[in-house]
């Protein structure tokens, strides 16, 4: 039924619907403009949110290991600490230079537990990344404490820790520095944009990872009428401003 077909005594309701339609249309225009600008920045690639990665079961939000595996693959292809640590807001320039190239391990088991992603920079440094794609439980502080204890037994000079998740936990995360998924994706978008000239295929793979995280974990979307349209617009604008 169209708005004009409703009875006249529905006036207030009709006006509210018209206001909502105008707001929705305005947001959709903002989304389309943000996508166009992002496409122009990423050319000859395009923005990964144009793909409907929410329909891919392998990338659903309960498959944490898939995201950890893909993230580890991305980090493995980087030049070293100078590219890896800034993704998580860690390390000063001196530490990044001293650490150099790192080796990546996934799900490294020990008596202290199974770490998600471990980056080892020889005996100079150790970087542990704990990956969460959903809410954290009350046992998180104990889990992080065990990882810190494991790191202290690895014979390295400096130890760094990052917790990657959807929202910063209310409880103590100890030495771990929190990074949310949208922030990481914006940084990875900038990295991919920077390497596209030398490795277009790798840049495309990184952008697809970003799109999968943004749609499935961060719940961003460019689909018409999506509830998080404004958050999507802000996300797309922010990654380009920070290039």
Other Cβ atoms less than 10 A from the Cβ of 202: the count is 15
What is the pTM for the complete model shown? 0.85
Residue 180 has pLDDT above 90, yes or no: yes
Q: For 142-149, what is the mean pLDDT?
A: 93
Q: How many CB atoms lie within 10 A of CB 228?
A: 13
- What pLDDT is recorded for position 135? 86
pLDDT band, residue 190 (cuts 50/70/90)? very high
| Cβ–Cβ < 8 Å for 229, 31 | yes
C-alpha distances (whole Å) from 133 to each of 25, 41, 76, 123, 146 are 31, 28, 21, 30, 20
* Full set of structural domains in the chain with CATH: 63-179 (3.40.1350)
User: Using CA atoms, how far apart are residues 26 and 238, in angstroms rounded to an integer?
Assistant: 19
Q: What is the pLDDT of residue 146?
A: 93
Contact call for residues 168 and 157 (beta carbons, < 8 A):
no
pLDDT at 54 over 70: no
Q: Which of 46-60, 67-81, 141-155, 163-177 has the lowest mean pLDDT?
A: 46-60
Confidence at residue 177, expressed as pLDDT on a 0 to 100 scale: 95
**What's the mean pLDDT in 25-35?**
83
Long-range contact pairs involving 234-241 (C-beta distance under 8 Å, separation at least 24): 235/182, 235/185, 235/186, 236/34, 236/35, 236/37, 236/38, 236/47, 236/49, 237/34, 237/37, 238/186, 239/38, 239/185, 239/186, 239/189, 239/190, 240/37, 240/38, 240/41
Q: So what's the pLDDT on residue 10?
A: 59
Q: Span 216-227, mean pLDDT? A: 80
């Amino acid at each position: 039924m169209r708005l004009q077909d409703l009875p006249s005594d529905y006036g207030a309701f009709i006006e509210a619907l018209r206001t909502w339609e105008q707001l929705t249309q305005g947001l959709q225009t903002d989304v389309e403009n943000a996508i166009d600008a992002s496409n122009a920045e990423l050319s000859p690639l395009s923005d990964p949110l144009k793909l409907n990665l929410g329909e891919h079961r392998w990338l659903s939000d309960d498959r944490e290991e898939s995201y950890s595996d893909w993230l580890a693959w991305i980090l493995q292809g980087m030049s070293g600490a100078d590219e890896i640590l800034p993704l998580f807001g860690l390390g000063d320039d001196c530490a990044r230079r001293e650490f150099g190239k790192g080796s990546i391990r996934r799900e490294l088991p020990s008596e202290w537990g199974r770490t998600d992603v471990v980056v080892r920079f020889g005996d100079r440094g150790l970087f542990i990344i704990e990956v969460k794609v959903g809410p954290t439980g009350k046992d998180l502080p104990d889990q992080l404490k065990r990882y810190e204890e494991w790191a202290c037994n690895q014979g390295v000079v400096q130890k760094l820790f990052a917790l990657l998740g959807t929202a910063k936990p209310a409880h103590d995360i100890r030495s771990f520095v929190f990074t949310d998924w949208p922030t990481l994706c914006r940084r990875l978008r900038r990295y991919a944009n920077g390497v596209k000239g030398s490795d277009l295929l790798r840049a495309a793979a990184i952008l697809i990872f970003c799109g999968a995280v943004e749609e499935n974990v961060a719940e961003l979307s460019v689909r018409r009428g999506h509830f998080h349209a404004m958050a999507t617009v802000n996300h797309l604008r922010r990654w380009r401003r920070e290039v």
